[in-house]
Amino acid sequence: MKIYNTLSRQKEEFVPLEEGKVSMYVCGPTVYNLIHIGNARPMIVFDTARRYMEHKGYAVNYVSNFTDVDDKIIRKANEEGVDPSVISERYIAECRKDMQALNVKPATVHPKATEEIGGMIDMIRSLIDKGHAYTAQDGTVYFKTRSFKPYGKLSHKNLDDLRSGGRSLLVSGEEQKQDPLDFVLWKPKKEGEPYWESPWCEGRPGWHIECSVMSRKYLGEEIDIHAGGEDLIFPHHENEIAQSEAANGKEFAKYWMHNGFLNIDNKKMSKSEGNFFTVRDIGEKYDLQVLRFFMLSAHYRSPLNFSAELMEAASNGLDRIVTSVTNLNFLLKNAQDREMTEEEKKLIEEAKEYIVKFDEAMDDDFNTADAISAIFELVKFVNTSVSGDSASVFLHAMKDEIVLLSDICGLIVDKKEEILDTQIEELIQERQEARKARNFARADEIRDTLAAQGIILEDTREGVKWKRA
């Protein structure tokens, strides 16, 4: 399996630190609002990478943080007159709902910055002890960027060419810094801000230190893969490398993966530009599986322009797969319970060609666009290979292949048949009649059948009422 590594700017063969295991850290969202579909891109593409590695047999330890202390969270809390934790907890809960709706698996751990302050203080202290950080008069602690010689190795920037920039550098007065390139590790509290005790001042951590600390705590000093959107390469990831490698004396992450932007009219979708759709907005118009399919129809490193036409194309594409599986389910209802014919066995062998194609695409830096093409080819092959005379085992085998490959992409294509309201009413009617006839076994059976479909019955004085769970 090859992964494009931002460090070397090349595709490299993936060799894990420990055989059979992958440690992976993905920078998560700052929780002050509903996530937009740009934020959903790294969630979807790295979840797909994780699913593929799990499919290949790796045990993946996947960590993704919630940044729950930040200027924007504090501003929103002040606007609403509530504690910042009220804002962050609210949007963490909403983000989890969106992730579930997008079929993004929960991380092994989702650490929150505010629960890891002690670890951040420890790392900052050791950076000061090792001469990589210093305290300014007001208690701000800065990382001494020039003390870390390889600085710039990820973003391929030269230390001398670098101009100060990035989120953390804007927070405190530049004049206190020994060098404009230095960045904040800890900063003093301001009026109305949450703060923690520290050896330097009452205050809060800079943004970059949280990922260095959480990654070390949950995955160790050296990890296999660190990932996030390409806007994080500089300064966030460059600063994470400087902090972690200066503190631990070891290479922080072997492979750095970055997703391209989700754009609108060729401009990055972002909250500050106001050109965004939340996942919720899109969920009102489309099944969110369509959004997932749309994201995977491009390579994760390419920019991707969001448009109604492309969503329409994604919807049609996904439908082709779902329809094929629905058709297989239909055929399976009356299929013959017999051994496979020689012809059917041959077709099963031929279908493997598409699975090989799928794997080759995914092994090539998670090329989901080509992997989805392989699913389409498989679907076409299956559609022309099955009929009302097919053996049940044959149909099952074909269906399993389509469902397996779709599942690696996190696409749910085996739609359980939805029970219609009219069918429910009919079953309830039948249950009433069974009860009248004192056929309680049948009445209970109907209740159980409905319960299995998530339908809850309630016997009231006005008659039987029902609702979907």
Minimum CB distance to ligand AMP, residue 38 (Å): 3
* Local structure of 2: helix, strand or coil: strand
- Listed in sequence order, the residues at least 6 apart from 468 whose beta carbon sits closer than 8 Å to its beta carbon are 454, 455, 456
Distance, in Å, from the CA atom of 257 to the CA atom of 6, rounded to the nearest integer, reads 6
Distance, in Å, from the CA atom of 64 to the CA atom of 31, rounded to the nearest integer, reads 13
Q: Which does 142 bind (CB under 5 to 8 A by kind): ligand AMP, Zn ion, none?
A: none
**Cβ closer to Zn ion: 27 or 398?**
27
Distance, in Å, from the CA atom of 162 to the CA atom of 142, rounded to the nearest integer, reads 17
Minimum CB distance to ligand AMP, residue 294 (Å): 13
- DSSP-derived letter for residue 202 is S
**Cβ closer to Zn ion: 27 or 60?**
27
**Cβ closer to ligand AMP: 167 or 320?**
167
Could you tell me the two tokens for 319?
């439908």
Q: Which does 211 bind (CB under 5 to 8 A by kind): Zn ion, ligand AMP, none?
A: Zn ion
Q: What angle do CA 72, 230, 302 make, to 5 degrees?
A: 130
Minimum CB distance to ligand AMP, residue 461 (Å): 52
Closest CA to 33 of 282, 278, 286: 278
Q: How many residues bind ligand AMP (CB under 6 A)?
A: 17
Alpha helices in 70-139 (DSSP H): 71-80, 84-101, 117-129
With residue 428 as reference, give the H or E element that holds it: helix 421-436
- Listed in sequence order, the residues at least 6 apart from 130 whose beta carbon sits closer than 8 Å to its beta carbon are 246, 247
Q: Which does 318 bind (CB under 5 to 8 A by kind): ligand AMP, Zn ion, none?
A: none
Token pair 């319970």: residue: 337
Mask for 22-61, x = binds ligand AMP (CB under 6 A): -----x-xx-------xx-xx-------------------
**Cβ closer to ligand AMP: 180 or 303?**
303
Mask for 209-228, x = binds Zn ion (CB under 5 A): --x-----------------
Minimum CB distance to ligand AMP, residue 256 (Å): 12
User: Any contact of residue 77 with Zn ion (CB under 5 A)?
Assistant: no
Q: Which does 42 bind (CB under 5 to 8 A by kind): ligand AMP, Zn ion, none?
A: ligand AMP
Minimum CB distance to ligand AMP, residue 34 (Å): 11
Minimum CB distance to ligand AMP, residue 269 (Å): 4
- Listed in sequence order, the residues at least 6 apart from 311 whose beta carbon sits closer than 8 Å to its beta carbon are 282, 286, 290, 291, 294
- Contact with ligand AMP (CB under 6 A): which of 228, 235, 317, 410? 228
Q: How many residues bind Zn ion (CB under 5 A)?
A: 2
Distance set, CA 235 to CA 2, 145, 151 (Å): 26, 11, 10
- Contact with Zn ion (CB under 5 A): which of 3, 7, 26, 27? 27
Minimum CB distance to Zn ion, residue 208 (Å): 7
Q: What angle do CA 111, 14, 109 make, to 5 degrees?
A: 10
Q: Which does 119 bind (CB under 5 to 8 A by kind): ligand AMP, Zn ion, none?
A: none
**Cβ closer to ligand AMP: 276 or 354?**
276
**Cis peptide before 235, with omega less than 30 degrees from 0?**
yes
Query: Which long-range CB contacts under 8 A does 391-396 form with residues at least 24 apart?
Result: 391/335, 391/336, 391/337, 391/338, 391/339, 391/340, 391/341, 391/344, 392/332, 392/335, 392/336, 392/337, 392/338, 393/339, 393/340, 394/340, 394/344, 394/347, 394/348, 395/328, 395/331, 395/332, 395/335, 396/332
Distance set, CA 10 to CA 56, 83, 240 (Å): 22, 46, 21
Mask for 251-290, x = binds ligand AMP (CB under 6 A): --------x-xx-----xxx--------------------
User: Any contact of residue 43 with Zn ion (CB under 5 A)?
Assistant: no
Minimum CB distance to Zn ion, residue 112 (Å): 13
Q: How far is Cα of residue 174 from the mean position of the Cα atoms in its chain?
A: 36
Distance, in Å, from the CA atom of 181 to the CA atom of 220, rounded to the nearest integer, reads 28
Mask for 192-211, x = binds Zn ion (CB under 5 A): -------------------x
Residues that bind ligand AMP (CB under 6 A): 27, 29-30, 38-39, 41-42, 228-229, 231-232, 259, 261-262, 268-270
Which residues of the shown chain bind Zn ion in the complex (CB under 5 A)? 27, 211
